[in-house]
Each structure stands twice: as structure tokens, then as C-alpha cells.
Structure 1
Amino acid sequence: MTGTEAARRLIADGCRVLANEGLVFGTLGHISARHGSGMLLRARGPADLGLQFSRAEEVVPATLAGDPLEESPYRLPVEHPLHGETLRLRPDVNAVVHAHPPAVVACTIAGLPLLPIAGAFDIPAARMAHDGIPTYRRSVLVRTPEIAQQMLDAMRDRPVCLLAGHGLIAVGDSVPQAVARAIAVDNLAKLTLQIAATGAPLVPIAEEDYQELPDLGGGLNDDTVWRHLVARLPTGGVQQ
């Protein structure tokens, strides 16, 4: 298997994980990864069955400007600038996830902030919330470089940005890391909604408690989480 084939399978598995974990529905949402001077991006074909059934062949190479690099029946999503501009303007990023978690969308509509309200329960989520999870306030498709740049201005150097009334973008060194970050933020949004529904205030944990939370490292936060998420898929990952 070539490196490109393995990368395509990884992206397809990531899309299926997002669907399996409830962060996307139908055909909406996509994942990309840096590939040479361009990117690999989950595209859509005439017989698309949705992200739950993503196949490696649906992941296509393109320039960062969104020009396909090979003949294919699959079309890039209209929000390809969300991926291309992120990879172009953030050299620290190798993978981009765009998803539509309902809990995240609900929090942005209700104006509920994602705070480090729990610590050891989900340390990656607590660490991201403590450092700040920004929000891009326009509820629009990120379908032009100009809109993508506005989104990135709001995101700054953070690993995740909420998109008001839309979803989120999560980035990382790898597809597994970006997917794990998206899921951690989704879990925090679900917890936020559950607490808000009781009428209790959203109170961050004490700073001294936060300082006791260790960075468990990518071996646990990303690799182990990824293996678990792929194992949860109905067929254990893309085989074609």
C-alpha cells in the first residue's frame, strides 16, 4: 500500500468515525490532510451514501486552491476553502476536520460558552476550554477564501473553532488528533447543555485543580482514542 492509499483510508475512516459518533449526519462534513504541496479531501460522487459509508476512493488529491489533481467522478465540497486556506495559512496543521455536532450548534445558538467545567473527566477538553475555544460568529458556508480567512482570524492559533449555527473546525498534526479534538469538544458541548438544562450555573473548575491535570500525551489522547474509535465502527475500518 502506498502512502497516498494509506492516507486516503485514514481520512475515510475519520469521516466514518465522525458519523458513528454523531458529529455529522448525511453527506455533510469532511476531513482533509496535507499531501505534498496540496491536500487530500473527502469529496462527493453521484452515488454518495454519506459519511457513515465513506470509502477511500472518495478521498481525492487537490491543490490548496481546490483544483483537482486527477480525473475523478468525485467533486470537492463547496467548503473546500475551509481546508485549503487553513492548510495554507497554518503550516503547523496537517489535518482539518469540519463537522456539524448538534450539541455544538445548540451551544453557539444559545450563547453557552464552552468552559473547563470538568477536569479529570475529559482532560483534553478541559485543557482546550481553559486556553479558550473561539467562535466564528457568521453562520455561513465557508466557501470562499475570504470567508475562510475571516474564520481563521477568529480561530487564531487554537486547535478548534466553533462556527456559530453551523458546527466546528478542528485541526491537528494528524487525522486522528484532529478527530479526537473534535470529539472532545463535542463531549464538552453535550455536558454543557445537560448542566444548563438543570438551571445550574456553568462554573469552571478551580485553577489549582486545573494545574493538577497532566498532559497525558498523544499516545493516549490521540493514538489510543483513535484505535478505540475505529474499533467501534461497524466493520472496524475501511477495507477498500
Structure 2
Amino acid sequence: MPDLRLDLIATARVMQPAGLNRGTAGNVSVRSGAGFYITPTGMPYATLQADDIPLMALDGSHQGSRKPSSEWRFHRDLYASRPEVGAVLHAHSPFAVSLACLRYDIPAFHYMIARFGGDSIRCADYAIFGSPELSTAALAAMHERKACLLANHGLLVAGRDLAEAMALAIELEELCEQYWRACQLGQPVILSADEMTAVLAKFAGYGQQ
């Protein structure tokens, strides 16, 4: 049976070459049974071994020799409240951070915004990292969405598995860059509510289901 810890480490190591992270910033988790595995706090991803990955329960306790990421709360709260979520990824990618520091929502300037479940990517209210308040703000911003920005912080995505979480994070950072670039030239034209409703309907049957 595949070891989810090794899959988690492989995903974490892809974050930097994918342009999502540098150093030990960010964190990744994957659901496992009644709990979840999460990257440990403050450890370079290149050095991680399976035994370094803590297993957390939904009550906030953990097993293993390493301390879990300081951001474990929004991971735990997403798993507890959304049974469809199988993996969560948080990153400090440059364009997402730039927009998050301006506390911008990303409107429907491009139809691919619909990939995340609605007609916008919301920016969650600011709260200090690792706090229950940040988790509360993040879950509110992610209501009926697969992603949000975290004010003055970074991006957060939730996928059905590690592969989807990584794909969503890369797509979100790309959209952040495209929106940032479009704003340098003027005010982007925003797709209407009717246009985005049509896109969302089309996305329901898009790709390999």
C-alpha cells in the first residue's frame, strides 16, 4: 500500500521548482483515515524522511517525533468541515502574496476563476499565523470555494488529493500573476454574473470526470 507520507514529501518538494515557495515557508497535508499527515514546522523539505511527518488527529493532538506545522489549524478545520477535501496546500508564492498584501479579492477577469468554485477568489481577513482566528477567517473566505488568499500572507487551496491541491495552487498563482499584469495596463474587464454562471455550468462536466 502506498505510503501517504512519501507522497506528501514529494508534493512538498515540488513546491519550490513550481514557483510556489522558498525555504521552509508554506505547508502541505493529506487526509489519512480519521486524521491527516502534515509537514513538520521549520524543516527543509529536501531533508524530510517519512518518520519526520506527524500524524494529526482532528482534536489537535499528534503522533511522531516532530512538531506539526504551526498552521495545522486551518488544515484540521478544512478536513473537519469539508469531507470532500483530501489535501490542503498553503504557499507564499510571489504574486499571490503581492495581491494578499493589498488585500485584494480576485474578480472574474478570466473564466478560469471558475475552477475554484465561484466567480471570485476571496481574500481572507488578516489574523496572525497559526491562530484559531486565521483558521476562522480562511474557512469563511473558502466557503463554497477551493481556494482563497490570506491577507498579508499567501494562498491556501483544498483539493480532493495531493495532485489536485498542487494543480490548484499552480493555477491560482498563475491567475494572480495574470491579474497583476493586466492591472499594470488598466482596469481588467470583468466577466458578468451570467457569463460566469455559464462557465460554472460548463465546468461541471469539463475534463475527465
Q: TM-score range by the shorter chain?
A: 0.7 to 0.9
Which residue number in structure 2 is paired with residue 156 of structure 1? 143
SS of the aligned residue for 1:91 comes to: coil
Aligned to 2:97: 105
Normalised to the residue count of structure 1, the TM-score between the two structures is 0.74
How does 1:5-16 map onto structure 2 within 5 Å?
5=3, 7-16=4-13
Separation of aligned partners in 2, 1:103 and 1:51: 22
How far is 1:118 from its partner?
Answer: 3.2
Deviations 1:74-102 (Å, cap 9, x if unpaired)?
A: 22111111211111122221111111112
Query: Which residue type is aligned with residue 203 of structure 1?
Result: V
CA contact (8 A) 1:115 1:202 kept: no
**Could you tell me the percent identity over the aligned residues?**
27
Over 3 Å counting, the alpha-carbon distance change for 1:208 and 1:131 in structure 2 is closer
Residue deviations 1:208-239, cap 9 Å, x none?
598368533357xxxxxxxxxxxxxxxxxxxx
Distance in 1 separating the partners of 2:166 and 2:121 = 16
Unpaired runs of 5+ in structure 1?
Answer: 220-240
Asked if residue 18 in structure 1 is aligned to residue 10 in structure 2, the reply is: no
Partner of residue 207, structure 2: 217
CA distance 1:127–1:94, shift in 2 (3 Å) = closer
CA contact (8 A) 2:127 2:134 kept: no
Whichever residue aligns with residue 98 of structure 1, its letter is H
Structure 1 segments of 4 or more deviating over 2 A? Answer: 50-60, 108-113, 115-119, 125-132, 204-219
Quick check: 1:78 aligned with 2:78? no
Distance 1:66 1:132, change over 3 A: same
- SS of residue in 1 equivalent to 2:166: helix
The partner residue of 2:109 within 117, 134, 138 is 117
Question: What is the alpha-carbon distance in structure 2 between the residues aligned to residue 95 and residue 193 of structure 1?
Answer: 27
Task: Give me the whole-angstrom Cα distance separating, in 1, the residues matched to 2:72 and 2:21.
Answer: 17
CA RMSD of aligned residues (A): 2.6
For structure 2, list consecutive stretches of 5 or more residues without a partner in the other structure.
none
Tell whether the 8 Å contact from 1:133 to 1:160 is kept in structure 2 after alignment. Answer: yes
What is the count of residue pairs matched by the alignment? Answer: 205
CA distance in 2, matches of 1:66, 1:209: 38
